[in-house]
Structure 1
Amino acid sequence: MGRAKDTTSEGSITAGADFLQLDIGQAPPGGRADWLAARLRAAIADGRVPVGARLPATRVLAGELGVSRGVVTEAYQRLGEDGHVAGRGRAGTVVVATPAAVVGRPPTPRRPPQVFTGRPGVEVFDALRAAPAEVDLTPGVPDLAAFPRAAWLRAERTVLDRLTPAALGYGDPTGTPALRLAVANWLARNRGIRVDPAEVVVVAGVSQALGLLAQVLHAHDVHTVAVEDPGSLGVRQHLANWGLAIPPVPVDDQGLRVDLLAATGAPAVLLTPAHQFPTGVVLDGERRRRLLAWARDGGLVVEDDYDAEHRYDRPPVPALRGMLPDRVCYTGSVSKLLAPALRIGWMLVPPRLHADVVAAKRMADLGNAALPQLVLAELMESGAMERHLRMLRHRHVRRRDAMIRAVRAHLPGAVVHGAAAGLHLLVTLPDAVDDVALAAEALRRGVKVQPLSWHGQRPQPPGLVLGYAATAPSEIDRAVATLAHCLP
């Protein structure tokens, strides 16, 4: 058997056991797979096995280590579940992401990032994204290491093979016909919404959808949009940026308090009925009926369906848009399905607003870039998107469960909310805790989280909004343990 060779270039093969000087005698009895996975994870983290390298074939590595092939297969599976490697068919098992560094104890002293100072301003998310951290539990971020690169490349080749020169010119500001058809089919299959593709407006994410809608509402003499409380700080910032008043409506364990909506005097309301952000509750049946009755009496509902496809322990919740299309504006995107960097979303508006929204989109940017739209349409129509979503659901359940276990083990006084769906958990804490100070200390120790108080206009119980989708289970446990050490 030949000696292994070191891997130094992307795509090269790391063959055999010698490349890491692996000594199976160091593995504890009954824990060989765990030991091997940890050694490989450490080698990926410190660059000895770089992103793009192929791990040894399971048969080869098992033979050199003198273990059963099942030990190596299990270790590779654990790395795959963590998002560090991916099977590429004949290309073997390839390293696709570097693990975050281990959160150390005691914490390494560092200059406190200037993020959690005073009331959060419009720049706070940029500052938080730029702040260094070993483990990032920011909510709303999908597993970016799981982006379906191979499927995207196949779809891109298919699109380019059949692309006509005319398709490279200026197009319809509402989006390419192919993507509008694919979105209409996707919404019918996954959200119970029947819509003509001509009604779909492709936008640069939900943030642009809100900006276009705000402009149109002002033109229709609507200057106030009620919002959930607690509710997304980012959404409130977008609406306020366009000059809309945003009175809060309380949220409880049944969703938006529709009985308090009329008291705001707002002619429109924005909410997340399928998986409320950040509490995770679902707008229950009676509240839905009351909300739709309010809309029939002249109100306008803006439905942000930001992560409704990510559901685990319950059946899908129908979209409000499918029940009352003439009174509901609907927004969605691929930011939580694939990656925020794609900047592709869609919106549906009542017929009376459609022409105005299209005019605003035309003046904003003449329409989204066509090539990514066509590639996304191919993913949606080929079934690749559904396959990717099924894989993500299995992975998310493991990571969610790991976070729940970690909270129970390290934060016994905390209560977990919103576990049945989505990409994050809300964890409420004892009343004596200052969640902003806790988040600041956690960031100083290398763990990035968001305090619940950021997302409320009225006083909220202390809590943290913890994203789990982009973090490996082992890192989740270490991060939650670090949070426990940050408590007074």
Structure 2
Amino acid sequence: MVIRDEAHAAGDRSTRGSSDDGRAGVRSGLDLHLDLPGAGGVGRSLEAALREAVRSGRLTAGTRLPGTRSLSADLGLSRGTVVQVYTQLIAEGWLTGAHGSGTRVAAVLPESGIGEAAGHGPVEPRAAPLGDLRPGRPDAGTFPRADWASSVRRVMSTMESEQMGYPDPAGMPALRLAVADYVSRTRGVWASAGSTVITAGFTQALALLARTFHRLGARRAATENPGFVLHRELLAAAGIASVPLAVDADGADPSGLPDDTGFALLTPAHQHPWGVVLAPGRRSAFIERARRNDAYVIEDDYDGEFRYDQQPVGAMQALAPDRVIYAGSTSKTLAPGVRLGWLVVPAPLRDPLLQTIRETGSAPPVIDQLVLADLFSGGGYDRHVRRARLGYRRRRHELAERLAAVTDTPLTGVAAGLHTLLPVASASAERELVATAGRAGLLLHGLHTAGYWHPTGEERPAALVIGYASPPQHAWRRALDALVSLVSPAGAIG
């Protein structure tokens, strides 16, 4: 039976009329698709149907259910029966009820693995009670909504109808020109509209590049160790094996680079996650090896705009535009949900990459591209980056001061980006800290727990990877207090 609820969603009492089955009631908009077999009484049937819908993952965490009046009218049941069913499921932990917010599916469900059978994966709480300090996330609350909305209005009032056709696989010319100007003046990149390709963020860009390199004959690529596990998985999905490069205080070590690697994936300005800068001599060595072996370097400049103790280090691409593919995105500057990024590609790779984009139909939406181009050209993007840089610099300084008061272990890496590392004694100690924090509602990553090492090994250094940009401003101090409590000698969290 399909059960719909609009009283919650719209609150429009003018929609009263006959429902789909002919009964008088509230027309509604939320389809629950509950199966009520009728065995064991209508109350028991409704209770079992709701429980199964939650267990299977069809009703996900946080979903707001119909009000008792609306549901009882749709089902032809007494309101008291529906109230009793909701009360029972709230008591069991399947649902939650709060005055003013209605009845919802619980965020943390009473059985492990709920939702996996439906392909949803394990259910996570929508928000951690103490905070989210995982790396790689900006404060989404700082997203420049007003500037973005103004750009949307300008684009929608001025764009030509022809621009809504199938887009150029390289991206909209206006955005390619704006990006080329931006990376040239802020990161020192040698770029033009012709060498720039627009992507749906770096994850998609790397997947496209990996597929392109595989078609060109590459079967191995060098990746930093420690490094982001997702990048290795993307390469493997394209049939390219990862060769680990050791990272020390001078960044990735080119001496471990085999001659048969098609490319090296590096984070030169701020190694992820170690936080060091690739030394000048090593930059030159990587480029020399790339030229000698007809290979390339992918420069992932994921947070190059954020340096707090000095001017940002310029992009490696300027040293060898013919051998370095420069990659950037809006994921750290605006928000990951924007899903826009860019590549500055050497000429020999441009056509093969565009062929891959055409094969996969992966060009980003036209309107989003034009809006971002307007944000660049109007100065809104630069203004937002400056504001964000100031805010994150303050947070990192406060984090360092607070931790210095409870531990003698200094943070590692340069003062840059959206994360830093706090070394801990061992892999087991790291896992215990991350688990203890998680039980208390503080989300953290560690070098071992987040899979940065490849291959893994208990003897490898351990550290908490602290994303100080992640919490919204109102939750920052609470998350910081919890972290300080976690790492203090007393270890009060938990």
TM-score (norm 2): 0.70
Q: 1:113 to 1:481 in 2, by over 3 A?
A: farther
Q: For residue 218 of structure 1, what is the amino acid of its counterpart? A: H
Q: 2:453 aligns with which of 456, 466, 474?
A: 456
Q: 1:145 to 1:261 in 2, by over 3 A?
A: same
Q: For residue 296 of structure 1, what is the amino acid of its counterpart? A: R
Cα displacement string for residues 449-486 of structure 1 (whole angstroms, at most 9, x for unaligned residues): 11112201143211111101133441242221342227
Q: 2:263 aligns with which of 248, 268, 271?
A: 268
Q: 1:300 aligns with which of 296, 301, 314?
A: 296
Distance 2:150 2:279 in 1: 41
Query: CA contact under 8 A between 1:414 and 1:430: conserved in structure 2?
Result: no
Q: CA RMSD in A?
A: 2.4
Q: For residue 284 of structure 2, what is the amino acid of its counterpart? A: R
CA-CA distance at 1:175 after TM superposition: 0.8
Corresponding residue SS for 2:435: helix
Q: For residue 354 of structure 1, what is the amino acid of its counterpart? A: R
What is aligned with 1:430?
Answer: 425
Q: For residue 479 of structure 1, what is the amino acid of its counterpart? A: A
Aligned residues with identical type, % of pairs = 38
CA-CA distance at 1:433 after TM superposition: 4.5
Query: CA contact under 8 A between 1:433 and 1:487: conserved in structure 2?
Result: no
Distance 2:283 2:404 in 1: 33
Q: 1:327 aligns with which of 323, 329, 347?
A: 323
Q: 1:432 to 1:238 in 2, by over 3 A?
A: closer
Counterpart check, 1:469 vs 2:469: yes
Distance 1:278 1:233 in 2: 11
Distance 1:260 1:239 in 2: 19
Q: 1:437 to 1:131 in 2, by over 3 A?
A: farther
Distance 1:277 1:129 in 2: 25
Distance 1:464 1:424 in 2: 10
Q: 1:442 to 1:110 in 2, by over 3 A?
A: farther
Q: 1:255 to 1:113 in 2, by over 3 A?
A: farther
The answer to which of 435-444 and 342-351 deviates more is 435-444
Cα displacement string for residues 226-280 of structure 1 (whole angstroms, at most 9, x for unaligned residues): 1000111121121122221001110001001112223x74232101001000011
Distance 1:111 1:290 in 2: 55
Q: 1:414 to 1:129 in 2, by over 3 A?
A: farther
Q: 2:172 aligns with which of 176, 183, 200?
A: 176
Query: CA contact under 8 A between 2:276 and 2:414: conserved in structure 1?
Result: no
Q: For residue 420 of structure 2, what is the amino acid of its counterpart? A: L
Q: For residue 461 of structure 2, what is the amino acid of its counterpart? A: P
Query: CA contact under 8 A between 1:329 and 1:348: conserved in structure 2?
Result: yes
Where does the alignment leave 5 or more consecutive residues of structure 1 unmatched?
1-108, 115-122
Q: 1:443 to 1:172 in 2, by over 3 A?
A: same
Corresponding residue SS for 1:246: strand
Distance 1:270 1:359 in 2: 22
TM-score (norm 1): 0.71
Corresponding residue SS for 1:237: helix
Q: 1:331 to 1:432 in 2, by over 3 A?
A: closer
CA-CA distance at 1:211 after TM superposition: 1.0
Q: For residue 243 of structure 2, what is the amino acid of its counterpart? A: P
Q: Within 5 A, what are the aligned runs for 1:370-449?
A: 370-410=366-406, 412-431=407-426, 433-449=428-444
Query: CA contact under 8 A between 1:438 and 1:487: conserved in structure 2?
Result: no
CA-CA distance at 1:208 after TM superposition: 0.9
Corresponding residue SS for 1:283: coil
The answer to which of 317-326 and 401-410 deviates more is 401-410
Q: 1:433 to 1:128 in 2, by over 3 A?
A: farther
Distance 2:482 2:414 in 1: 18
Distance 1:431 1:366 in 2: 43
Higher RCO (CA 8 Å, separation ≥ 6 residues): 1
What is aligned with 2:284?
Answer: 289
Query: CA contact under 8 A between 2:277 and 2:414: conserved in structure 1?
Result: no
Corresponding residue SS for 1:434: helix
What is aligned with 1:52?
Answer: none
CA-CA distance at 1:164 after TM superposition: 1.3
Query: CA contact under 8 A between 1:441 and 1:486: conserved in structure 2?
Result: no
Counterpart check, 1:354 vs 2:350: yes
Distance 1:131 1:241 in 2: 30
Distance 2:414 2:368 in 1: 33
Distance 1:235 1:438 in 2: 26
Look at both structures and tell me which one has the larger radius of gyration over its CA atoms.
2
Query: CA contact under 8 A between 2:437 and 2:493: conserved in structure 1?
Result: no
Distance 2:370 2:427 in 1: 52
Query: CA contact under 8 A between 1:110 and 1:444: conserved in structure 2?
Result: no
